[in-house]
Structure 1
Amino acid sequence: MKFSWTMLNYFINLESITFEKFIDKLTLAGFEVEKIEENTKIADKIIHLSITANRKEIFCVINLAKEIASIFNLSLKINLKQIQLLPNNTTYNFINKSQQILYIRINTISNLSYQKSPQWLQNNLIGSNIKPLFLLHDIQQYIEIKWGHKILIFDLDKLNTKCINFNLLKIDKNITLQKQETIIYNNQELFYLDTINPSNNTTQFSNKTKNIILCCFINNINNLLNSSETFNHAYNETIRLIITHCGGIISKSYQNSRIITGNNKKLKIEKNEIKYILGPIFNQQNKFLSNKNIFKALNQLKLKPYYSYNHKIFEITIPKYREHDLKRSIDIIEEIGRIYGFKYFLNKLPKYNRKGKISIKSFYIKKIRYTLLNLGFDEAINSSLTQKEIYQNNQIKIHNPIAEEQSSLRTNIAKNLIENYKLQIKQKNSRTEIFEIGNIFYKDKQNPYNEQIHLGGIINNLQFLKKDWYSKSNKLEWFHAKGILEFILDTLQTNIQYSKTLTEIDNTKIENIQSYLDPNEKIFIYNKKNNQLIGILGKVNNKYIDYIDQYKKTTYLFEINIKSLIDSIYFNKQISHIIKPYSLYPSVIRDISININKNDNITQIINLLLQKNKNLIEYIEIINEYYNKVTKIKSICLRIIYRSSNRTLDNKDLININNNIKQLLYK
C-alpha cells in the first residue's frame, strides 16, 4: 500500500525525525517498507508499505498517522472526537429503518460551477496511482485516501424516481454483503432508508453535474476501523473543497443515528506474565521492564491502562478499531514489546536449573535403547495392528477394521521382528541386529484387556567373529547371542538367572512367543529374587526361514517384559572399591610354574600368596595351564607383578619373595 510523506506531515509533525530514522523504526514496529519512491514531478516521497492481515485498519493516511504517533510518542495536529450518537426518539426529517446503519449524514448542493482540479489535489492522486479525471471525482478519491471514508455523490437531476441505491461493498471491500441500502428523496425533503434488492439504477455524476446529493454513513462494519473519530473531518472537508472550487448553494444537513449497545472489550494481564514473555532488558543488569515503561507503552497505544498494585495486574480497554487483532494477553504483550523496541530485550533463551522428573520406566527404556544402539543394533518401529492368528486365543479383535491384515492387536514383538529379518535377507544383508520396544496386547480370565511394554531383538551375523587376521570370519552362535543378552542385562544391573524349564503358570504369559522359537534351543530368564518370569531367548524356528539354508542355525531371538525387567534391577548404594595411591616406582614381572592336584583350588592359592606378600605383590594372573592325563597332575603358570609403593625393588627383594612363596607352596 502506498502512502504520501507530504500527506502524513499534514496529520503529524515529522520534521524533527529524519527520514532514515523514520523508516528504520517503522520497520522494527512491524511495518515492512518494500520501496521508497522519489517522485520529482510532484515533489513527494511515496512509501510502499506491506500491511499484514491483522492490521487491516491501516488502509488510509489518518490511520497510519495514528499508528506513527503511537510508535514515536507524538501528538496529532488534529483533535479526533467520537460522534455523539443521537437518541432514537429524536425527530428528524430522516427516517432510518436499517439495522446496518449506525450514523448517516446527507446534504444537497446546487448550482455548481466547475473548475479544473488544483495541482496539489492532482499530485496527491498521482502519488497513489489514481488518474485525475474531474473535480468531483478527484475530491471523492482524495477524501477516501486521506480519511478512509467513501463520500457518495449522486446527480439530483437524474433521480427520476427520487431513489438512490448504494452498495455497502464500497465502504469495506473486505466484507461481502448480499444487499444494498436505498435512500428515497422527495419534494418534502424526507429521506427514507430501507433494505431492498440490488438494482442497477445507481445514478452517476460527471463534470457537468449541477445539483448533487452528498451522503456518508457509518455502519456496523466500518465502525470497527475507527471511522467515527474521523467522520466529521472527512465530511466537512469534502463540503469545504466542493464549495471552494465549485461554488454552489449547500442545504442543511439531514442526519440520523441509533445508540450502539455494548462497551469496549477489556483485558487483564499479569505483570509477571509480561516480564516472563518479554524477558530482561539488554545492558540493564538483567532488569525487567518497569511498571512505568509498561504504563507508558500502553498509553501510547491508547489502551487506557489501569494498574492494580494489590493484585499486580494491568487492566486495559481495547478500542473498537483494534478489537479484530487484540484479543489475547499475548497480543497486548507483543504490542508493548513493539512500542518499547524488541531490540532492547535480551535475545537469549532462559536457563532452567530445575530438571523435569522422569519415571523409572521411561528412564530404563531410554537406557535400554541407548545400550542396544551402542552395541550396533538398529531400532525398528512396527504397527501394533496385525491379522488374526488361528492358534492364539487371547488376541484382542478390532471392531470394523480397515483391512483383514489389521483386524487384531499383536500379542508379541517376535512376529514383526521376523518379518523385518526376512526383508533384510531379501536385501542380501549378511548382518541383522534389530530391536524394538513396543506395546503388546492380550486378554485373560481376569482382565479382557491387558497392555504391556516388551523389548524384542533378533540377531544374525555370518561374519561375527575372527580368531586371527588370516582366518575366515565365523558366524554367530548360541553362546555369542547369549553373551550379548547378558551384557545388556549386566549393564542394567539386573539380578537374573536362567532356566530350561517353564512352569504352567508362566506358560500362559509366553505361549504367544514360544511358537516362533526352536523347542530344543531356548532358555527362560527369571528374576533371581522372586522367580518371576522376565523373558525368553532362543533360536528362530526353521519353518520361518526354511527357504535359506545358511541362515537356519544362526538366527536368535529374544523378548523381554520391560516391567518385569525393571523389577529385577538391584540398586547398590554402597561402593566396594578400595581407593589407594598409585605407586610411582617401576614394576617387575616374573612367571612361575606350580604343580597342583586336580582337586586343589587355585583361587585359594592366589589369595594365600597375596595375603603373605601384600605390600610387594601387586597382581597375580593365570597365563597357561597343562594337565597330564597319565600322572593326573595339573601344571599352572602364574604371572606375578611385583611393585613397591616407596622404593624400587632389587634382586635381593625378589629372591626373598620367591623363597617365601616356595615355603608357602611347600606347606
Structure 2
Amino acid sequence: MYISINWLKELIEFDLTAEDLAHKLTMSGFEVEGIEDRRTWADGVVLGQIITADRHPNADKLQVCSVDVGAAEKLEIVCGAANARAGIYVAVATIGTYLPRIDLKIKSAKLRGVKSSGMICSLAELGLTKDSEGIYEFSFADENIPALGSDVRPWLGLDDVILDVTSTANRADALSMVGIAREVAAFSGGKLSLPEPNLTGEPKQGDWVSVEEPKGCPAYSGSLIKGIKIAESPTWLKQRLVAAGMRPISNIVDITNFVMLEWGQPLHAFDANKLAENLQIGVRFARASEKEQLKTLDDQKRDLQNQSFIITSGDRPVALAGLIGGADTEVGDQTVDIMLEAALFDSATIRRSARAHGLRTEASARFERGVNFSGLETARDRAIQLILEIAGGELTEQSVVDNRAPLTRTIELRLSRVQEILGSIEADDGELADLPAMAVEQTLATLGFELQSHSTNNNGDRHLDQGSAAIKWLVKVPSYRYADIEREIDLIEEVARIYGYDKFVETLPDRTELGFLSLDYLLTRQLREILKGVGLTELVHVSLTSPTEDNQVLVANPAAAEFSALRKDLLAGLIDAFASNISNGNGSLWGYEIGSVFWLDEEGSNEATHLGGILGGDPTVGVWQKSSQPINWYEAKGMLETVFHRLGVEVEYQPDRADARLHPGRTASLWIDGNRLGVFGQLHPELIQQRELPDQVYVFELDLFTLLEAVAQLAIPIFKTYSTYPSSDRDIAFFAANSISVAELQRSIKRSGGALLESVDLFDQYIGKGVPEGQRSLAFRLVYRASDRTLTDEDVNKVHQQVRDNLEEKFSVSLRS
C-alpha cells in the first residue's frame, strides 16, 4: 500500500523523517519496499499566468505565450498545447529546472525561430499521470489565488513523500491509513486524530435488504442518497487518491475509494435509478440456473458460478460481492440518486469467489484478509458525510441487516512468559535486566489494548510489583486486531515489535548440546545414496492430483479442479514423468521418489511415506560399443535386490495381481518377516501401448516405514563366528508346477535343512521339450556346513534326504536328481 506522509500527518502527529519512519515501520513488521520523494519531481516549477497566447509565425500548431511568473519581466514560452490561452494559471518550469519523470533539464532554446525561456507543464511531464491532452490548468477560487512565482508543489500534491509499505497477510488493518497511523502512534508516541464522522438526523429505516447467506455476509447496510450532483472531485481528494496510486474518476466514486483507503472498509455506490423499480437488494450465491453473464465495471462479461457471491436487485445479479460492481448499475454523469453499499463479507467466501473469476481487486484484497467488523458504521457514515458535503443530496433512507455476533476476546498475559520468550534488556547502567511490567503495559496500551492486572500474591492480595515475574494481565483485544491476536504469544510478539527487537540482548543458552541426526533420517540418507549408486535419480512431485477414486482424500479449498485430491500412490506420478521424458525426446527416465501418500478408510484419513521407483528401456542407447537391448525383468529385479543387499535386509517375493497397471504374470508383492513391504513389477502391455512407452518398463513402490524398521533392527551389527570347516555341496533338480513360486520352495528347503543348511540358490530353470505341460524344471544348489566339525557324507545325506522327502510330500514335485 502507498502511504502519503502528508496524509499520515493529518492523522498522527510525528516529526520523523521519511527515512526514519520507513526504518521504524520495517522494524515493527511492515516492510517499506521503496521511498518516493515527489518533492523532487517539480523542484523549480512555479505558478504562472498566461497573459497572451499568439499564434507562432512559423508553425500552425504552436503558440507564443507571454507568461507572468511574478518576475520583473514576463517569460516568452513557445507552447504546443491546444488548451494554452490567455488568463489561465499554469505550472511553469523555469530555466535550469530538472524534471526527473521525463529526464529533461529546461534550457533556453529556439523553436522555429522564436526563443522559448521555459516550459509550461502538463501533469504527465510532472509525473502525476501517464498521458495528458494538454497543459495543466489550475482552478483557484478568487480569494485563494497564490502569488505568481510561488512553488506549485503544494497545489499539485508534490510536496509529499510516498512510502511503499507491505503488510503481512494477518494484518488486514494495515491496508488503511488509519491502521498505519495507529502503528506510528505506538512507536512514536504521537497523538492520534482520527476523522470521526458527525452525521445529524436519523434517516428512515427500510427493509429492502435481504441476506440469504448470513455466514458469507454478516452485515449489510444500504443507504439511499437522493439529489446528488456528479462532478469532478475537489483537488485535495484527487491528490489523496493519486498519492495512493489510484485514478480519480468522479466525486462519488472517489469518495468510496478514499474511505476504503482511509478506514480499510470497501464501499460501493450503485445508481439507484438503474436498480429494480421496487428497490430490493439481495445477497446470495449464484444459482445453477443463472446462465446469463454479468458485465462488470472493467467491461468484462463474466459467467456466474456456484462459488460466485453476488449482489442482486429484484433478484437480478448486479455486482460480484466484495469484488467489483456491475456496469449496468454504474454511477455515471447522469446519476442523481445512489444506493451506497457498506457490507461485511466473509474472507473465505470472497477468496473463493475471486479465485473462481480469476479476479483480485482493492476491495477483495481487504475482504480476503478480514476487515474490522466493528468499523462498518464508522466508514459508512464517513462516506455519507463526505458525499453530502461534496456532491450534495439528502440521506433519505437506510436498510440494514446485521447478524454480527459480539466480537470480544480477552487473553491472559504473564510477565514471566514475556521475559522468558524475549530475554533480557540492557539497563541504563549497562547491566542486564528483565523487561519491566510497566514497559509491557505502556507498549500494549499504545496499540489500543486494554490491560487489567489480575495477579495475586501469597496472601491473595492483588498487586503490581514491577520486579515480580508473577504479574499477570487480562488483555482485551481491540476490534481492529481481532483477526490476528488470538493467543498469549501474539501479545508477546506485539511487545517485541513495538518495544524494539534490537533492544533485547542476544544471549546464548547456558548449556549447549551437540546436534545429531535421527536414526530414520540417517537411514533415509543412506537409502538415497544406495539408490543413486544403482543409477536412479531422485524425483519430486506435488502431492495434489485429480479426484478419480472413491477413497481419495479431497482438498477442501483446491486451487483448481485437477488438483483437488491427494495422491494415493507414487506410481501414477512416476509413470507420468517417464512418459513426459519419452515424449520430449529425453529418453528413458530411471528415477525414484520418497514422498507421502494419502487414503481414506473406515477410520478416516491416513498418511504414509512411500518409496517409489521406475526404470526401463535401454540405458545404453547411443553407445556404439554395444547393441541396443532393453533391460529385462531379472536385471530390474537385480537392481532392487542390490538395494536390499546394501541395506542388509532379506526380502521375499510373492506373485501378485492386485494392481491393474502391472503385468499379471510379472508382478510380485514384497515381504519382510511377514510384513508387506510393497510391490515390484512390469507395466501392463495395454498401459505401455496407451502411453507409448518402451516395451519393458518396471516400477516398485515400498512402504518406507516397514523398510526402515527392518533396517533399524540391523543398525547395530552382531558378529557371527565364521566356520573354519569345509562345506559340502549338493544339487537337487525336479519338475514343479508353474503355480509354485521359487520363494515357497526355498523357504521349505531351508526349513527342512535345519541348522546344517547354510544356503540355497536357484541356478537353473528350464521350460520346454521333455518337461511336462504346466510344469518347469528347477535346479537348486544346497550348501551344508557345520561350525564345530567337518561334515561326513552320512551327516549330509541324512539332511538332504529330508529335504527331498519334504518337497515330494508338500509340493508333489518329480525329482530328477
Q: TM-score under structure 1 normalisation? A: 0.49
| Higher CA-based Rg | 1
Q: TM-score under structure 2 normalisation? A: 0.41
